[in-house]
Amino acid sequence: MPAVFVHGVPETARVWDPLTAQLSRSDTVALSLPGFEAPRPDGFGATKEEYVDWLVGELEDLRSAGPVDLVGHDWGGGFVVRLVSLRPDLVRSWVTDAAGVGGVDFEWHEMAKLWQTPEAGEAFFAQNLAMSPEQRARVFESFGIPPEHAIEMGGWPNEEMADTILRLYRSAIDVGSEWGPDFSDVATPGLVLVPSDDAFLGADGARRAAARAGAEVAELDGLGHWWMLQDPRRGAGVLEGFWSSLGGTSAPQPD
């Protein structure tokens, strides 16, 4: 029964390393999104729907190891929202800190709107990639990421990642109206994480989406967008508490 972790933007699968090191279970898989330290397949346009299809394929391959406990952060959490709306049979349970994208009233944060704007988004990343890893690290530190993790993250962005981010965000301008109607009464147990100091994802929208989906809510007071780096022990404890509450629950099978 693997626990599968899906990262967000602008990250790699290594963002989960501190948290998974705190878990008592060893059956963890951290997926690398195409375009984020993993190559984009030929013809892959990096749209939100293509990523969901990709995630479906990954979980179908992993399901032979047992029902999956799926965990997503940022865009990875958004893909979790969509996947469990369409294919709840692929998971035993799900966790997301991006439930708000499953609300019809979802509105993007200002940086996302910048990335969605032609020319302005390209200019942003041209400036970002011209910075040194140390300069980018200081930006990440301003969002509460500990220095040792911020300097690692500062070295991740590259031209392929920047192009992938722009493609993804521009495919998702109306994600709330497109995905929100299906994110309701999800058939498998879910947990929505709500970090109190998240500068990018709205807490109120996440709580409303959780209620519509029938999910539990865990408030992460004092933590921000990168909660898994700020306090990996606490994050691991929240996940393990949720998984323990499931007992012998198994994923429903498709008709």
Model confidence pLDDT, tens digit, residues 36-82? 999 999 999 999 999 999 999 999 999 887 889 999 999 999 999 99
CB 193 within 8 A of CB 227: yes
Could you please state the CATH topology (level 3) that the domain comprising 3-106+174-245 is classified under.
Rossmann fold (3.40.50)
User: How far apart, in whole angstroms, are the C-alpha atoms of residue 193 and residue 50?
Assistant: 25
H helical segments located in the chain: 17-20, 48-62, 75-86, 110-115, 120-130, 133-141, 147-154, 159-170, 175-179, 203-213, 227-230, 232-245
Ranges of each domain in the chain: 3-106+174-245
CB 197 within 8 A of CB 206: no
Q: What is the pLDDT of residue 255?
A: 39
Q: Two tokens at 197?
A: 């100091």
Q: What is the pLDDT of residue 248?
A: 58
Q: What is the pLDDT of residue 102?
A: 97
Q: 3-class SS at 94?
A: strand
Q: Two tokens at 96?
A: 């997301």
Q: What is the pLDDT of residue 253?
A: 41
Distance between alpha carbon 149 and the CA centroid of its chain, in Å?
Answer: 18
Positive or negative torsion for Cα 143, 146, 149, 152: positive
- Which ranges of the chain have pLDDT less than 70? 248-255
pTM of the model: 0.95
Edge-to-edge strand list for the sheet holding 28-31: 28-31, 3-6, 68-72, 91-96, 190-195, 216-220
Q: What is the pLDDT of residue 254?
A: 41
